[in-house]
Amino acid sequence: MSNRLAFWIAVLVLLAGAFLRFYQLSSLPPGLNEAEIVDARISETVRQGRPEIFFRVGDHGREGTYPVLLASFTTTVGGGVLTTRLLSVFAGMLAMAAVYALGKRLYGAPSGLAALALMAVSMLPIVLSRAAVAESLTPFLTAMTILLLSRAYPIFGKPQTGESTVTFAMLGSLLGLSFYITPAAFTNALTAAIFIAYLLITRQHLTRRTLSHTWFALVLLIVIVTPYLIASLQNPGVSGAARVFDNTITTPIQAAIAGISGIFFVGDSNPLWNLPERPLLDLVSGMLMVVGLAVSIRGWRQPRFMLVLIALAMTAPPALLSSTSPNFLRMASLLPLLMVLFGLGVTALYRSLHSGEARMVAAVALTGLVIFNIQWTMRDLYGNWPAEEDVQAAYNSRIGAFARYLDDTVADYPTVICSETLRPPQSPTQLTDPQLLALMMHNQSAPLRYADCRAAIVFPEGGDAAQAVFLSGETIESANPLVQGWLARGTPVEYAAIPEGSVIRFDVERVLADTVGAFTTTAPASFAPESPGGKEVVAMPVRFGGNITLLGYVRDWTETLFPGEVFSVPTYWRIDGTVPQDLRLFTHLQSDPAAMPVAQTDTLDVLPNTLQPRDVVLQVTNIMLPWTIPDGSYSLSVGAYEDNLDVRLSVYDGDYERGNRLFIGEVTVGNS
């Protein structure tokens, strides 16, 4: 086969591999899994100017270089599921090219093409190319390390000619930088060291120039890896050396058997990286790989065969010896070796056939094997795998579907996200649904509003056409009855993969304007007695500091309330500009304006930093009367304050300050 023909076939196979990796990239997998979220969060830490060699994640560590690359990439092209995965797709494409170049270098163009074809259409390499994790770079690092070794040293039993300082510089740099990406760097470095030792022991044709360049690559490696070694000594528990092997394994022989079986028969059951129990290779490809391994063992005296055997001996134990073996994520570093051995097996079998008819049949059979793998992968990858409930749960598919929907619609419809988890929990290892949504959306600048619709709602732009999205699995029935009343004026939206009734589009601008206009007569209020000018009646609306205006309230409580009873105070507020990010609203019940409150609620069930000018906020505040509250009449006052400073916002009458609270009526309490 001519080099020109091999080149164009390789280009076609690479294009096919690119299609399989890019097709439905934004929706398959259906969201981000926990490992991807961890790397994405670390990349945000890096973006804030806090890079580290290692980051502690639970009881383990995580190298910091991949998050640096991810932060740089997403800063350039934007965030979201698609762009977060693009870096891994490009790494997968480079891995395919490196596998082809390696197979061609060691065993000829046909071997390289066969290895490339299997790498292009197998499910695990494609899944890794769609995963925003550091392990997605491992196949490329392994393949490139072996390729550079094959180019730097004599592998054909004769002195190396045309060797280049650049090759050795690339080898030393790649080995050194790999330590900052994944623990697979340890096995790659061992492969290089043992292979060079093998060349020296077997007295291969190593020129002084080659030995001099070897020392140059070693010095370069030491210089690059020194900060890593220092950091490892300071934090041995999180260093890569502690993660090369699975420290929790108790049955290494059983794990090795399970790992080898996972290549041929029953694969990884983890839905994150595989259709549960699908083998890594089909049985025919696996047998051809075994043939390639047998050929390598038979030719072990030749460096081109021994190089792959050494790499396999160094890479296989950490990949196979896992407490959850077969563990396909740990097998990522094995992929280039398995593909190259497959290519060698195909070539050896083809060359063993002497008749033209037999070789033609073999070529057709190989083409059929590739076609079988394509349809097998497409059926499982695009059909069976995403349909698994475990896959959908592991990849947060519900939030992923909302992210895709909002990317399509948020430019046309101002959006309110209804979620019961507005603010981050205390544990830094967890993200709320709104945070996950922000991580998965491509439109990072979309002006989303967030509200806990059990007690509040935002009417964007004064009630103009908008939509409410119930993010956390709720529907309109979970909202406050008053909020339900407003949303019931809208229309549910149907969208693929989004639960029915979870999106409501509404346009209440006219009704809201009529409601607010009626407050001038139905919502009496007065300034506080201690304010300049005293207790004076004022008509709605009333302007507060912090760019908010009280439009009015609804007297939603009965004439007489009883101890232990809960009553609601719905208030409507207009946003006039940028509001304090720690804005809170208070509602106090007092027997006397000068007395301490006998009951109070301080809350704001929307995220203030997401509010825009002209937005109207409906806040339903619930107050529980104490069981020991005496009979009598009580005053109800409302206001706002900045939570961090504990400073109340002023109330204004025109341009004049009139205290920092507003009285909006009385509550009568009785015991019978």
Convert the pLDDT of each residue in 314-354 to its tens digit. 999 999 999 999 999 999 999 999 999 999 999 999 988 88
Give the domain-ending residue among 393, 421, 452: 393
Largest CA distance in the chain: 109
Question: What is the crossing angle of helices 184-201 and 165-178, to 10°?
Answer: 140
**Pairing mode, strands 566-575 and 616-624:** antiparallel
Ranges of H-type helices in 61-181: 65-77, 81-107, 109-121, 123-129, 138-152, 165-178
Residues 446 and 362 in one domain: no
The range of the structural domain enclosing residue 490 comes to: 397-507
pLDDT tens, 633-653? 999 999 999 999 999 999 999
Q: Are residues 531 and 501 in the same domain?
A: no
**What pLDDT, in 10s, does the model give residues 619-635?**
999 999 999 999 999 99
Same domain, 259 and 147: yes
Answer whether residue 372 shows pLDDT above 80: yes
75 band by pLDDT with thresholds 50, 70 and 90: confident
Same domain, 117 and 222: yes
Question: Does the pLDDT of residue 429 top 70, yes or no?
Answer: no
Q: What is the CATH number of the domain that holds 646?
A: 2.60.40.770
Query: pLDDT digit string (tens) for 430-487?
Result: 788 888 998 999 888 888 999 999 999 999 999 999 999 998 878 898 899 999 999 9
Domain boundary pick from 455, 473, 507: 507
**367 and 402 inside one domain:** no
pTM: 0.88
Residues 86 and 122 in one domain: yes
* Phi, psi values for residue 653, rounded to 5°: -120, 95
- Residues 217, 98, single domain; the answer is yes
Mean pLDDT computed over every residue of the chain: 92
Confidence of residue 237 (pLDDT cuts 50, 70, 90): confident
**What is d(CA 98, CA 90) in angstroms, rounded to the nearest whole number?**
12
For residues 222 and 266, state if they share a domain: yes
User: Domains in the chain: how many in total?
Assistant: 3
Comparing 37-46, 262-271, 504-513, the range with the smallest average pLDDT is 37-46
d(C-alpha 21, C-alpha 366), whole Å: 22
Residues 29 and 91 in one domain: yes
**What value does the mean pLDDT take over residues 123-148?**
96
**Could you tell me if 161 and 294 lie in one domain?**
yes
Out of 482, 507, 532, a domain closes at 507
Answer whether residue 207 shows pLDDT above 90.
no
Q: Which pLDDT tens digit goes with each residue over 2-15? A: 788 989 999 999 99
DSSP for 268-303 reads: ---TTTSSTT--SS-HHHHHHHHHHHHHHHHTTTSH
| Residues 388 and 408 occupy one common structural domain | no
Reported as type and span, the H/E element at residue 561 is: strand 560-561
| Pair 313, 183 in one domain | yes
